[in-house]
Chains A and B, each alone.
Chain A
Amino acid sequence: EPEVTQTPSHQVTQMGQEVILRCVPISNHLYFYWYRQILGQKVEFLVSFYNNEISEKSEIFDDQFSVERPDGSNFTLKIRSTKLEDSAMYFCASSRQGGETQYFGPGTRLLVL
């Protein structure tokens, strides 16, 4: 069964550094998403991406964040100048169409020191 994959599974970085989290959505899906989950808290929507552009974003998704689909398979989340409070689990998800079931990847655990 096709699934969403994410790399790396864990990332440790120094405050102020840039990180890129990578995702490979399910191949025939058209909508892509990033979420984050701070330890012990609920999952929070960051951004949705369709047709090579951002379609929705939350107030969390400020200028520090950017997303890109650099080729036909990868979907990336870049965090510039990381802060301590960016430490969280970051989930990528994809769906065939908007409003349909979103399939989540296993997540990347980011720790900012």
Chain B
Amino acid sequence: KNQVEQSPQSLIILEGKNCTLQCNYTVSPFSNLRWYKQDTGRGPVSLTIMTFSENTKSNGRYTATLDADTKQSSLHITASQLSDSASYICVALFGNEKLTFGTGTRLTIIP
């Protein structure tokens, strides 16, 4: 069964600190892996997309990594800001259109 698992389930860090969120996936056939940010009560917003041939991709203070051999990905957030407080969701695309979502990591940034 296609699954995406994330850890930790929740994380609290001080403003300005860095953090890394983890994702493991078992999706076949695998097309690409995405990280989304979801504010409470809002739709997910895309941060990065990586195909199996890409190891890393950055978007501002967000850097995602992908190891297609071990089926693991991470999202690193640098110099966190209060506005980074949200759920971060790892999403795997299998086939051409069907996204499989993880349960997300709830990140809280405190001043």
Chain B, 88-111, contact with A by CB distance < 8 Å: what is the 0/1 string?
A: 010001011111111110000000
Q: Are B46 and A103 in contact (CB under 8 A)?
A: yes
Minimum CB–CB distance for B11 against chain A, Å: 17
B100 contacts A45, CB within 8 Å? yes
User: Which residues does chain B contribute within 8 Å of A98, judged by CB atoms?
Assistant: 96-97
Q: Does any Cβ of B come within 8 Å of A68's Cβ?
A: no
Contact check, A104 vs B44: say whether CB atoms are below 8 A apart.
yes
Cβ-based interface call for A82 (8 A):
no
A101 within 8 A of B: yes
- Count chain B residues whose beta carbon lies closer than 8 angstroms to a beta carbon of A: 23
Could you tell me the distance between the alpha carbons of A56 and B38 in the complex, rounded to whole angstroms? 24
Instruction: Given A42-B102, A48-B97, A48-B98, answer yes or no on A101-B49 (Cβ-Cβ < 8 Å).
Output: yes
Given contacts A99-B31, A99-B93, contact A105 B98 (CB under 8 A): no
Residues facing B in A36-51 (CB within 8 A) are 41-45, 48, 50
Q: Is B60 an interface residue (CB 8 A)?
A: no
Output the least CB separation between B42 and chain A (Å): 6
B32 within 8 A of A: yes
Question: Using an 8 Å CB-CB cutoff, how does the interface string of A18-58 with B read, 1 for contact, 0 for none?
Answer: 00000000000001010100000111110010100001101
Q: What are 6 A-B contacts with C-beta separation under 8 Å?
A: A41-B103, A42-B101, A43-B101, A101-B34, A106-B42, A107-B42
Q: List residues of B whose CB falls within 8 A of some A CB.
A: 31-32, 34, 38, 41-46, 49, 89, 93, 95-104
Known: A56-B95, A91-B44, A101-B49. 7 other contacts (CB 8 A): A4-B43, A42-B102, A43-B44, A45-B100, A50-B97, A58-B98, A102-B46
